[in-house]
Amino acid sequence: MALCFLFGLCVAGFAGFVIGRKAPAKAPPVAVSASAEIVPTSETEGQFAAAFSDLRAGNNRRALLGFQEIQTSQPGFYGIDFLVGYAAYFAGEPALARESFQAAIGKKELDEEASALLALIDVAKDGTDEGGDSIVDPLASAESALKHYASRRPLDPRAFCLLAEMLRSKGSYRTAGEFMTKALERTDPRFDARLIEAKMTLTRVQDERPKAVPAFSTVTSMDGPTALAAGYAALSNKRSEEGVLFLERASEFYPGFLFLELMRDQAFDEFRQDPRFEEFLKKH
């Protein structure tokens, strides 16, 4: 009986070993990037909005201070080193820009953009250095870095714009013009700042549908968004003749391809069967 008991234990142990070997190995835990876990607080969102607004308005030093505040409050936020460097670059702070771009490259955060702008800093530095020859031509390095940036970010026109500006500063106007053309080809009109601003206007009038139409006598004093809102107000109040005249005024403020994109906006879908509006669209 004792031998039978021992034999049973051996069989059970061997069976457990075999089953254990056949069991699939547990998958290793998926590593989660620390930066991916960081989301902006409501305060940080406000700081971002203010900093980008300053950057767009050309207040680069104020934008720099705004991004630095975010960097202090949420230092692990993805891309914040690059944004500090970007604002510092345009604010005329090359030392800070270099340090920030190098930090971004070390973290592999927007490193293509950071490497290209770092190369542009070297071009500017080379132009101010007195004496001494560099083994590597900074201009050639910057051109290579910007072309690499363009190839890795095919929807971003900034690489070709920056390359064109660099070439212009060196007197290569024809080549600069060619790269400006390439930048324009990559610019998506759906994300043009003027178009986004106009769509914001349309969104507001859709949210609070206007019950009155502005006096047509004021049309000559209207800017693009104001005339656009007036056109929408007139069309929504069944005054299509005035509506198309207001929209004609709005068209004076937008290049043809942008205005065409604007007329495709969903806000105008309900008016597409209106004969006057339909005729207006055919003209544009």
Is the predicted pLDDT of residue 78 greater than 50, yes or no?
yes
Rounded distance, CA 153 to CA 150, Å? 5
Strand, helix or coil for residue 93: coil
Q: Are 212 and 239 in contact (CB under 8 A)?
A: no
Query: Against a cut of 0.85, is the pTM above it?
Result: no
Rounded distance, CA 216 to CA 231, Å? 10
* CATH H superfamily, domain 42-126+140-187: Tetratricopeptide repeat domain (1.25.40.10)
Mean confidence (pLDDT) of the chain: 87
Rounded distance, CA 74 to CA 82, Å? 14
Q: Are 223 and 197 in contact (CB under 8 A)?
A: no
Instruction: Note the pLDDT tens digit of each residue in 252-279.
Output: 999 998 999 999 999 999 999 999 999 9
Q: What is the pLDDT of residue 62?
A: 97
Q: 229 falls in which pLDDT band (50, 70, 90)?
A: very high
Q: What is the pLDDT of residue 38?
A: 81
Is the predicted pLDDT of residue 13 greater than 70, yes or no?
no
Which tokens go with 259?
A: 């205005």
Instruction: Note the pLDDT tens digit of each residue in 21-77.
Output: 444 444 444 444 444 568 888 899 999 999 999 999 999 999 999 999 999 998 889
Spell out the domain ranges in the chain.
42-126+140-187, 191-283
Q: 228 falls in which pLDDT band (50, 70, 90)?
A: very high
Closest CA to 154 of 195, 120, 192, 188: 188
**What count of residues does the chain have?**
284
Q: What is the pLDDT of residue 6?
A: 38
Q: What is the pLDDT of residue 128?
A: 57
Is the predicted pLDDT of residue 83 greater than 90, yes or no?
yes
Q: What is the pLDDT of residue 269?
A: 96
Instruction: Note the pLDDT tens digit of each residue in 109-157.
Output: 999 999 999 999 999 887 655 444 556 799 999 999 999 999 999 999 9
Is the predicted pLDDT of residue 281 greater than 60, yes or no?
yes
Which residue type, as a one-letter code, is found at position 54? D
Return the minimum-mean-pLDDT range out of 99-103, 122-126, 242-246, 251-255.
122-126
Instruction: Note the pLDDT tens digit of each residue in 188-207.
Output: 888 899 999 999 999 999 99
